[in-house]
A and B are shown apart, each in its own frame.
Chain A
Amino acid sequence: MSQEKQHISSYTSHFVVLITLIILTGISVAVTRVEMGPLNTLVAMIIAGAKASVVLAWFMHLKFDNKLFAIFTALVLVIFLLVLYVTFFDYSYR
């Protein structure tokens, strides 16, 4: 394991990640003022998902690591989304 090359991110990239997260947080707060009914939840989830992806890709180095990890993470997200979809399949047709 030790012979695998380490990727060291620069301060600039960390800073860009931070700014992106702050901007996205601002948007998710601002968007609550727009009345969209059930779509509000969807939008909030999409923004939160974008934030999580930024953290995973740059801050947690998924982008620079073995592709296998990215594939597994994606699969997990697919399962998570499907679970949410199936749950809301109940709520939206009650």
Chain B
Amino acid sequence: MATTSTQPVFIALQANNDTLPIIEAIRQDNPQAVVHDYPAMVKIDCPGRLVIRRETVEEHLGRAFDLREIQVNMISIAGNVDESEDEFTLEWKSA
């Protein structure tokens, strides 16, 4: 893994039917992720790094998924962003 940081990154998503499979994919690919439920909002914290993998989202969603679709339901993020076709990553570099 690219980082040794344990500083929390987060992503917050609207709590709706579109984001359920994304949240499930995040849980599956990030065992250290902690999911907080708030009214209308889900905030997911993770130490150092959080990754959303297209393939995992597609497994849960049952159709092809463009990671840029996340933009529609994303409320906020913390961490440096890197995005490719296959992965959307949030990461802190320093401890």
A binds B: no
A interface residues with partner B (beta carbon < 8 Å): none
